[in-house]
Structure 1
């Protein structure tokens, strides 16, 4: 792992529409990561899967004597993918080390010079997880009190739609179309990323095989 700790996590219950349904999906993982920074820093270099156990209310918790968040060691072989040849990763390593050297030589001194408690506090308050709260809060936007009152009235007068309601079929059609569009966009994105990687790092053929490592000669 080149001295790095690589941690990933998987939510098996969320599909492509999870990002549209509720922000709780992202907040759950975000809270778990923030609550585990000390444990992550204490891990030996390597690849780990982060496993999260939810409390009764769905909140990330740590039960007495039993960690609700744990890190299970993994190997690259555990990840299901067809890796490009080693030569491609060697080219990636060279590009990465070159970029790191350029950053340390030209950008890092400026970043360190601009870093101070004031800029740190500014970045803290400009974090999207924070701005999404206070920019639309009643304290920052007084008119949001109308939204809160309207939401309370709507919640108090909700009724289940009748089975023959035409809006239900329209809703299902829209959800299906959005899901299909998200799936198509994901497939196009992944294919473009794969082609780009092959073009940049896997040699002139872009096939992911070296000139001497093909199928010639059986």
Structure 2
């Protein structure tokens, strides 16, 4: 049995906003990839120059540099002279050839940016949607009470104190008294009734399931920031 602290659960001060961490990573600079001689990531113009150079070098190794430049000049002349689909075909063929020999990282970065155009970021809240209130951390004492209630009308205070004392002794802690358990419930604002029927069908002082449900519903509702005005 796990020891349960009677203190109210507090939010973890070390929690950080994942969206802020993501912004820091994005502000650190572009992703690693092809780099220039000074260590900076290569841009698209530099990548295009490498693609053109790589294409002409590959062609020159197959049909000599003279035939390479001659065929490309003929293709450009035909595109300008005939126009129309010939021009489109030559431009597309050269574009595919140059892109084939370009470094992949600049191309991938441009493709990713184009895909992200018009797509809202997952960590950016919608201005039109209402803000979602932060949920309070789960209270282990309340979870234990629901477990002890089961399908009954409620749980007796003495039963709750007995279970908590057994868990504390098993963990080597000081067992809380019945008065301390009652004080913990009062601090949380959980009411007690004099007549509550538990799983054993016996009636005694304890927490009724209806009161516990109402307490949870009131806890989940955001507080009204507007102060009351005098009549």
TM-score of the superposition, structure 2-length normalised? 0.22
Q: Point out the structure with max Rg over C-alpha.
A: 2
